[in-house]
Each structure stands twice: as structure tokens, then as C-alpha cells.
Chain A
Amino acid sequence: MTISKNELLKRMSEGVLEMEEDVVIEAANNYLEAGYPVLEGILEGLVDGMNKASVLYDEEEYFVTDVLLCSDAMYEGLNILRPHLSSDEVDRKKPTGVIGVVHGDTHDIGKNLVKIMLETAGFEMYDLGRDVPLIDFVEKSKEVKADLICLSTLMTTTMSGMETVINLLKEHGIRKDLKVIVGGGPISQKFSDMIGADGYSNNAVEAVKLSKSLLGLV
């Protein structure tokens, strides 16, 4: 007996929200076998669940560990559905971002959350990891024609690297082509203004809203 599309969408969404990878995997496979539209499965099932998780995170019902597990479940589902997207759905131009933790710091929980949230929101994200040499942000941004750079640090000691990245972007003549947002424990709006970044956000959910508004995607 085939299960209705809405039922499977609901199972995928709830599976993500409840961090149940197995539920998501089974629902995604059933969804595919039944021949339902793939893009809808991603957006109304998997991403819907992740969006609900981010609302709970914003409301401090969910914490970082929960969001990480939700995203694992979402990515499991994406691995199943994504290869079946039609070619024009795949080629659709997505906003592109480069993200990383600046040189000197290896704390990347916040960065990982922002990346997950931005991917959920439809961004194509290039993750440079942590302890990233500053020039790499510039080079990667050129290579992928980034719309957005997200810089993170949790350490007061490495904050000044963010300003260096912005100066490097100017030197390479691409500062005007993209938006730079900053975040992390010691960072503030004041610091962001001081170094000439385009915006600051103090959590991952805000970072998505900020990125969308800076890029005029709202």
C-alpha cells in the first residue's frame, strides 16, 4: 500500500525535528519509490523539519547538540533525494557563501551551525574549516564567485584577523562584490562596524535573516 505524499512529508519533517535518522531515511526512500516530486520532498519535508528545529533553537527549547543531530537527519534525507532532482532544479543558481573560522582559532561549533542554517535556507556553502589562513577566504570567494563571506571566531585573540580579511578583499578589488558578516563569542555589532563588515549576528538563526536581507532575498 502506498503512503500518501503528505504523510511522507510529515514523517520526513518530524523525523528531522525528532533527530530520528532512520525514520527520515525510510520516509525518503518511500517518497522516492512512490514517485512524488523530489524538490517538494526536500523543501516541504526535510527543510521544513530543520526550519522547525531552528525555531525551537531560537526559542531556546533546542540547544546546539540537538540542532547538530537534526541536521544529520536532514542530510541523510538529502543524500537520498538530491540525486533525483531534475537537471534544471540542480542548475538553479543559489546564493553562494564562503564560511570559516579565522586563523588562530579552532573552535567551530558556531560556524558549523551557521553553515547548516544557511544551507537549510537554500545557500550553497563552501566551508573552509577552522584556523583558516586569511588569504584563503579571498581566493575561495573569487573562485566560487561568492555573494557572502561568513567569518567566525570564538577567541578575542583572533578577532583582528577579520579586519585583515576585509582589507585583503579591498586589495583584491572584490570587496564591493560581496557581503561580509561576522560572528562568534567576542564579536559585537560595534566591532563589526569598526572593521567595516556588512553585518553582525549573535546566533545562527539571526545569521540567516541577516544574510538574506543583505542580499535582498527577503
Chain B
Amino acid sequence: MGNILTEKKRLFNSLSNKKVDRPPCICPGGMMNMVTKDLIDQLGVEFSEAHHNPNLMADLAELVYKEKCFENYGVPFCMTIESEAFGAKVKFGNNSIEPHVTQYNIDSVADYKSLPKVDYAKKRFAVVLKAIEILKGKETDIPIIGNITGPISTASSIMEPVDFYKELRKKNKLAHEYLEVVTDSLIEFALLQIKAGADVIAISDPSGTGEILGPKFFDEFAVKYINKIIDAVQSEGVPVIVHICGQMKNVYGKVKKLRSEVLSFDSIVNIKEAINNLPNHYIMGNISTYALEFGEKEKIQELTKHCLKQEVDIVSPACGLGMNSPLENIQTILQTVKGGVKNAASEN
């Protein structure tokens, strides 16, 4: 049959208003981590090493697809690469703890000029780029999603977030200068991921929420700098997913201004409300990661069906997966998405 869509075609169609048989079911990676302990154990590796080894990273990304969890490849599996390159210290965790920043590099936005120059050929940038090349080399029809950490989250991982948030107001001009530097580096990383073979770029900015920043700063900082990245990526012909954490109701008007094709939300967001408020975006979401880790299979089916019923454009978890989420629960999303189509077809 000529009309069976490949995973890549289905994702691209659903990002360009073209016909799809059903929504794709993806989990981008990055902050939206989709690697769980079950998968890591199956491969018999140490998760902490996968952040340094491109072969392991690619193998894990591939296993996510092979195990019928999601219909994409995605790397990396954390959100510490960019801030580490700017001098933050990172602990790499273990099979149930993700990498996280433990020490900052600067004390104030005013110190941004002392940040090290980022070398994209080195460190974990190179690992991610190589992993994308490996995945690309497999010549499959699986879309490869490259991930970058959002500008606010990166900037507030290089210095103490409390001071950072305060200085958005107190040292407004310097805060903008600092964010320009951070954003330019994120753009560079995104473009290199595209060059290596990424089909889609996802940006997650969990520390840049409307709840923390309020509508004014959300607009002035988060929207401005995320859009700068989006523009650069789109000029390469590559679509963008933006994931925003937290409650949206105060900032729908500002979120509208994000120029990404896709917006992805937290489970706290009412998906119908999001769809109604954001008619110009494709909406991705938002199976509760709490349910995925602690819920029963039936609950996951119910949540997935709800998303399908609300006509989300892409089905995905609402956040990064808890490392201890049972594999069966994760697989249930895709099974339900596929089954949903069958049921609909038999009704015709």
C-alpha cells in the first residue's frame, strides 16, 4: 500500500498541515528524557557513561524506538551540556539519577564576559553530534530529534538562579547581554546538530516558565531569545518543538508569539484550552509522567485516548520520563495511539 506513512513522513506531515493516518507518538529527548532504567538495564550499560560515549548514546536512542516506546530517535538525555561548556560543574548521576549541575561558574549576569569560549568540537557537544551522525548513518525512516536547553534554563544553570531571576530586573541591560551570548551559543549547537543530521530541533526551557517570570519577563526574555533560536533553525528548513513547563493561563498571549511549529506542555495544562488558545501552533502533549511512573496501564490508555479525542497533533509525555517508569506503561501510549486508529477505521 502506497499510503502507509513512515515515522518521519508522518511527523513531517503533521507539522505541515498534510494528511496523516493518526498523530505521531514521540518523546524528543533532552529535558524530555525518554530513557528509563528498564532500557538502560536491557542494554547492560551505565547511564552515566552514555552521556560521554556517542555509541552508547546512539544505542540507547535506538533502543527507545526498537522497544516500541516512541517513533523517533532523540539525543542527548540531559540538559547540562550547554551550561557545562560555560563552566558549570556537572554530576553525572547513575542509572536512576540524571546529570545535574552542582556548581555555578559566575556570580552575576555582569560577569558574563569572563565565561569561557565554547569549543563545539570538544566535550560532550562532540558526543551528541557524533551520536546524531551514527543515527543518521543507519538510514532509517525514523526522525532524529536534536535537543537544546532553552536560554533561560541554560543561563540560570551557569549562575545561581535566584540571583539570575532578580537581576533580570535589577541589571536588566546586562541580563540581556548575557542572554545574547548564551543564545548565540545555543544557536551554534542547534545548527551543528542539524548539520550532523537532526531532522527536528526541540527546545526545552523549564526554568523560563510564566509562573516564575510573570508575563512581562516571560515576553521580554523567554519569548525573545527562544524566538531567536527558532528563527535560526527554521532558516535551515528544520522545524522546531518548544516545550514549556508549568501553568500557561497567565501567558497564553505571550506563548502565541513563539514562532515554533510545535508547542509542548506540562500535564497541568488543559490540552483543549491550549488548542483553543493557540490556533496557529501544532500542539503536542501531554501524558502525565506521574501516571507513566506510578499509574496503571488502564490509566495510561485513558490519558492517551483523551489526548487523541482532543485532537492533539502529536502525542507525547508531558515532561521527561521518570527513570523508574515501567517499560510497559511507556509502550502503552504508542499501542493506544495505534489502536485508536484501528477503532476509528472499523467504525467507518
Q: How far is the CA of A72 from the CA of B289 in the complex (A)?
A: 35
Which segment of B11-19, B233-241, B317-325 sits at the interface? B317-325
| Cross-chain contact B322 with A64 (CB below 8 angstroms) | no
Q: How far is the CA of A122 from the CA of B291 in the complex (A)?
A: 37
User: Which residues does chain A contribute within 8 Å of B100, judged by CB atoms?
Assistant: 104-106, 131
Which residue of chain A lies nearest to B210 when distances are taken between CB atoms in the complex?
A63
A residues 59-103 near B (Cβ < 8 Å) are 60, 62-66, 68-69, 72, 103
Contact A157 B211 (CB under 8 A): no
User: Which of A41-49, A175-183, A184-192, A205-213 makes up part of the contact surface?
Assistant: A184-192
- Considering the complex, give the chain A residue whose CB is closest to the CB of B323: A157
Query: Are B97 and A64 in touch, CB under 8 angstroms?
Result: no
Taking the closest CB of chain A, its distance from the CB of B265, in whole angstroms, is 13
Known contacts A65-B214, A156-B293, A106 near B102 by CB under 8 Å: yes
Task: Check B278 for interface membership: any CB of A closer than 8 A.
Answer: no
Collect the chain A residues with CB atoms within 8 Å of residue B293's CB: 156, 159
B-contacting residues, A153-171, CB 8 Å: 154-160
Query: Whole-angstrom distance between the alpha carbons of A103 and B212 in the complex?
Result: 23
Give the distance in Å from the alpha carbon of A153 to the alpha carbon of B289 in the complex.
14
Nearest B-chain residue to A203, judged by Cβ: B211
A130 to chain B, nearest CB (A): 9
Q: How many residues of B contact A (CB 8 A)?
A: 38
- Which of A31-39, A107-115, A135-143 is near enough to bind chain B? A107-115
Distance between Cα atoms of A64 and B165 in the complex (Å): 8
- A155 smallest CB distance to B (angstroms): 7
B245 proximity list for chain A (CB < 8 A): 185
State in angstroms the CA–CA spacing of A149 and B290 once bound together: 23
Interchain CA distance A108-B212 in the complex, whole Å = 12
Q: Hey, which chain A residues are within 8 Å of B246, CB to CB?
A: 185
Contacts across chains A and B counted by CB atoms under 8 Å: 87
Q: Are A68 and B98 in contact (CB under 8 A)?
A: no
Do A63 and B319 touch across chains, with their CB atoms under 8 A apart?
no
Query: B211 near A160 (CB under 8 angstroms)?
Result: no
| A65 and B98 form a contact (CB under 8 A) | no
Q: Are B165 and A68 neighbours in the complex by a CB distance under 8 Å?
A: yes
A191, B207: Cβ atoms closer than 8 Å: no
**Residues of chain A with a CB closer than 8 A to B257's CB:** none
Taking a contact as CB atoms closer than 8 A, the residue among A19, A105, A109 that contacts B212 in the complex is A109
**Closest Cβ–Cβ distance, residue A65 to chain B (whole Å):** 5
Interface string of B302-316 (1 = CB under 8 A from A): 000000000000000
Residue on B with the closest CB to A63?
B214
A8–chain B nearest beta-carbon distance, Å? 25
CB < 8 Å neighbour of B96 from A63, A64, A157: A157
B289 and A186 form a contact (CB under 8 A): yes
Contact with A along B144-168 (1 / 0, CB 8 A): 0000000000000000011001101
Is there contact, CB below 8 Å, between A65 and B289? no
Q: State which of A62, A105, A109, A188 has its C-beta within 8 Å of the C-beta of B162.
A: A109
B169 at the interface (CB under 8 A from A): yes
Given contacts A156-B289, A191-B290, A191-B294, contact A104 B324 (CB under 8 A): no
Please state if A106 and B97 are interface contacts (CB–CB under 8 Å).
no
Bound Cα distance A94, B40 (Å): 48
**Chain B residues in 8 Å Cβ range of A108:** 161-162
- CB pair A188–B166 under 8 Å, yes or no, is no
Query: A158: which of B97, B101, B206 is its contact (CB, 8 Å)?
Result: B97
Asked whether A69 and B97 contact (CB < 8 A) given A63-B212, A64-B212, A191-B290, the answer is no
Please, which residues of chain A bring their CB within 8 A of the CB of B294? 191, 194
A156 with B321: CB separation less than 8 A: yes
> Which chain B residues lie closer than 8 Å to A60 at the CB level?
250
With A106-B100, A157-B323 in contact, do A65 and B212 touch (Cβ < 8 Å)? yes
Smallest distance from the beta carbon of B211 to chain A beta carbons, Å?
7
Any chain A CB within 8 A of the CB of B93?
yes
Q: Which residues of B contact A (CB under 8 A)?
A: 33, 91, 93, 96-98, 100-102, 161-162, 165-166, 168-170, 206-207, 210-214, 217, 245-246, 250, 266, 289-290, 293-294, 319-324
> What are 21 contact pairs spanning A and B, CB under 8 A?
A63-B213, A64-B211, A64-B212, A64-B214, A65-B166, A65-B169, A65-B217, A68-B165, A68-B166, A104-B98, A107-B161, A108-B162, A109-B212, A156-B319, A156-B320, A156-B321, A157-B97, A159-B322, A160-B324, A185-B246, A185-B266
Chain A residues with a Cβ under 8 A of chain B: 19, 60, 62-66, 68-69, 72, 103-109, 112, 131, 154-160, 185-186, 188, 191, 194
